[in-house]
Amino acid sequence: MNFWAVSTEIFILVIMTVALAVDLVLPKKETRRGIGYLVISGLLAALVYTFGLYHTGPSMTFFDGLFLEDNYALFFKQLFILGMLFSVLFSLDYVEKNIKSPGEFYTLLMAALLGMCVMASANDLLTMFVGLELMTVSFYVLVGQRMDVPDSGEASVKYLVVGAGSTAVMLYGISLVYGATGSLDFAVICRSIQMVFSIGLAGIVLVMIGFFFKLSVIPFHMWAPDVYQGAPTPVTALLAMGSKAAGIAVFMRALYAAFPLLGGYWIPLLAVFAAICMVGGNIMAIRQTDVKRMLAYSSIAQAGYMMCGIASADAAGMKAVLFYAMLYVFANVGAFAVLTCVEVYRGGTTHTHLTGLAQSAPLLAAVMTVSLLSMAGIPPTAGFSGKMYIFTAAVERGYLWLAFIGFLMSMISVYYYLLVAKAMYRDLTPEEETANTAFRIPFGVRATVLLSVIATVGTGIYPELLAMLTNLASQTFMR
């Protein structure tokens, strides 16, 4: 038992326990802001610590290889920690104002983070399932944390029902794979000849459908818009970047490590679903006026882009997905930090609430625009380099049509992203002018948006640093 392999998870568990304990000890009336600071400093330490775990030799394992701490897992863990860190940082005011029991909120966030980290390291179907459930169950509760708005409760129940259904489907698929091969270990499944028979194939299909639900791939996406809209804004941010990236992490590992020999079956399937996501997500996003809901549809499209990378099934594709997942975190952090701030001061996240932001808070308007453009893939933001990586990998694999759809749809997506920019920058009527009061940007939000925009533009202009990290992560995996 090499406990160093799970040191990151232990770290997070400690943060979670301390947060819970402090919440219990503090008097009931007192503010829970301190717990937020505690969590932030803990996560910062964890982030720095994980950099020390990158290695070039063989990777550490735990539980007889069921849990694998390779560079690939480390990269994703850093991504989750980074996303969580910023989400807590920009939502300090939001939590204080809108969440009834902040102590529990922070504890649950840490539980979700723990689940994501376990998923990233999962090397068999059971560990994967445990991590997945830890994350999703925490999210069921987190989505319903806003007691004052009915939407939040509705979103929570909807997420629970759909999530439970998809879990059942996935579990059934896992049981079929186990029936075919007699093992849950990715390495054993990979070597098993039994998978080519119909029972194994049916298992893969069901596991994939389970993942499609989690990644909100069309036609399994119905829950996403309502849940994104109803959930507290920081939780929406985490759903979009953390939950989705965790799903991608384990999905890609399962496909590459457990089912590589069946690529002939799942690669075309993935390509088709990626195309459907890119087209459907972008088209449906056009008509949305609530930015959170728009981002829900856009996240469907983003899942499509990342699936293009997975479908190329080689080191270049994997590297592209890692790169894209990270820059998607930067972009989401920026966009949701702005939305959270706007919601705290103006009570909503529709285009109307954003009107005139360019005059009342030029920094926020600029960051929002840059973040959205990064999602659309317009240079010099990181999104452009990410799309180049993804689509070169796809074209190399022979999916020229996929790249074509991808580029075309990302240009269409600029339309609805620019509608947000239009709301923020357009001329105001006299009544709007008077209502458009300047507001104080809290330090946490200011720090978050500045860092996110620097990361987005910096990575866009000079992608080399992130590219080196992703190369490191994907190379150890492929070996």
Partner 1 sequence: MGFPLLSTVLLAPLLMALVICFLPREAREQIRVLAAAAMGLATCLTLYAYAAYDTAVGGMQFTEQIPWVTDLGVSYSLGIDGISLPMLLLTDVIGLASVFSSWNIEKRAKEFFILLLILIAGVTGTFVACDLFIFLLCYEVVVIPIYIMVLIWGSTKRVPKEYSGMKLTIFLLMGSAFMLVGIVSLYLGAYPAGQRTFDIQALIMASQMGNMSAEFQIFVFLLLLTGFGSLLSMFPFHSWSPDGYAGAPTAVSMIHAGVLKKIGGYGLIRLGLMVLPLGAKFWAPLIAGLAMINVMYAAYCAMVQKDLKYIIGYSSVSHMGYVLLGFAALNVVSISGAIANMVAHGIMASLFFSQIGYVYEKTHMRSIPDLKGLAHYFPRVTIGFMLAGMASVGLPGLIEFVPEVTIFMGTIGVYPFFAVIAIAGIIFTALYILRMLAKVLFGPKDEHFAKYEDQKGVEVLPLLLLGLFLVGFGIFPELLMRVIDSGVQPLAPMLAALSDVPMLLGGGF
Positions in the binding site for partner 1 (CB under 8 A): 319, 358, 362, 369, 373, 378-380, 384-385, 388-389, 391-392, 395-396, 400, 403-404, 407-408, 410-412, 414-415, 418, 421-422, 425-427, 460-464, 467, 471
Closest CA to 83 of 308, 236, 198, 297: 236
Judged by beta carbon, residue 167 or residue 298, the one nearer partner 1 is: 298
Q: Closest distance between partner 1 and the C-beta of residue 308, in Å?
A: 12
| Residue 262, CB-side half-sphere exposure with 13 Å CA sphere | 26
- What is the C-alpha end-to-end distance of the chain, expressed in Å? 24
**Alpha carbon of 302 to those of 43, 215, 241, 406: distances in Å?**
26, 10, 10, 10
Judged by beta carbon, residue 76 or residue 416, the one nearer partner 1 is: 416
Judged by beta carbon, residue 287 or residue 426, the one nearer partner 1 is: 426
Q: Closest distance between partner 1 and the C-beta of residue 391, in Å?
A: 6
Q: For residue 136, which amino acid is it?
A: T
| Residue 433, CB-side half-sphere exposure with 13 Å CA sphere | 4
Q: Closest distance between partner 1 and the C-beta of residue 307, in Å?
A: 18
Strand partners, 58: none
Q: What angle do CA 357, 148, 100 make, to 5 degrees?
A: 95
Judged by beta carbon, residue 247 or residue 463, the one nearer partner 1 is: 463
CB atoms within 10 A of CB 357: 26
Which residues, 6 or more positions from 166, have their beta carbon under 8 angstroms from its beta carbon? 209, 210, 213, 214, 220
Q: Closest distance between partner 1 and the C-beta of residue 287, in Å?
A: 15
Q: Closest distance between partner 1 and the C-beta of residue 255, in Å?
A: 22
Instruction: Please answer whether residues 377 and 304 qualify as being in contact, where contact means their C-beta atoms are separated by less than 8 angstroms.
Output: no
Q: Closest distance between partner 1 and the C-beta of residue 456, in Å?
A: 14
CB atoms within 10 A of CB 440: 10
Judged by beta carbon, residue 12 or residue 313, the one nearer partner 1 is: 313
User: What DSSP element (H or E) covers 426?
Assistant: none
Instruction: Output DSSP code: residue 356.
Output: T
Judged by beta carbon, residue 184 or residue 390, the one nearer partner 1 is: 390
Q: Closest distance between partner 1 and the C-beta of residue 459, in Å?
A: 11
Q: Measure the CA–CA gap between 250 and 265, rounded to whole angstroms.
A: 19
Instruction: Please answer whether residues 381 and 462 qualify as being in contact, where contact means their C-beta atoms are separated by less than 8 angstroms.
Output: no
Q: Closest distance between partner 1 and the C-beta of residue 8, in Å?
A: 27
Judged by beta carbon, residue 347 or residue 430, the one nearer partner 1 is: 430
Strand partners, 122: 67
3-state class of 222 per DSSP? coil
Instruction: Output DSSP code: residue 381.
Output: S
Which residues, 6 or more positions from 442, have their beta carbon under 8 angstroms from its beta carbon? 92, 93, 341
Which residues, 6 or more positions from 439, have their beta carbon under 8 angstroms from its beta carbon? 345, 360, 361
Residues in the chain: 479
3-state class of 364 per DSSP? helix
Q: Closest distance between partner 1 and the C-beta of residue 31, in Å?
A: 35
Judged by beta carbon, residue 126 or residue 363, the one nearer partner 1 is: 363
Judged by beta carbon, residue 148 or residue 427, the one nearer partner 1 is: 427
Q: Closest distance between partner 1 and the C-beta of residue 344, in Å?
A: 25
* Per-residue buried b or exposed e for 2-21, using 16+ beta carbons within 10 Å of the residue's own CB: eeebbbbbebbbebbebbbe
Q: At what angle do helices 315-346 and 443-461 cross, to 10 degrees?
A: 150
Q: Measure the CA–CA gap between 317 and 310, rounded to whole angstroms.
A: 6
Judged by beta carbon, residue 392 or residue 436, the one nearer partner 1 is: 392
Q: Closest distance between partner 1 and the C-beta of residue 403, in Å?
A: 6
Judged by beta carbon, residue 156 or residue 374, the one nearer partner 1 is: 374
Q: Closest distance between partner 1 and the C-beta of residue 425, in Å?
A: 5
Judged by beta carbon, residue 183 or residue 392, the one nearer partner 1 is: 392
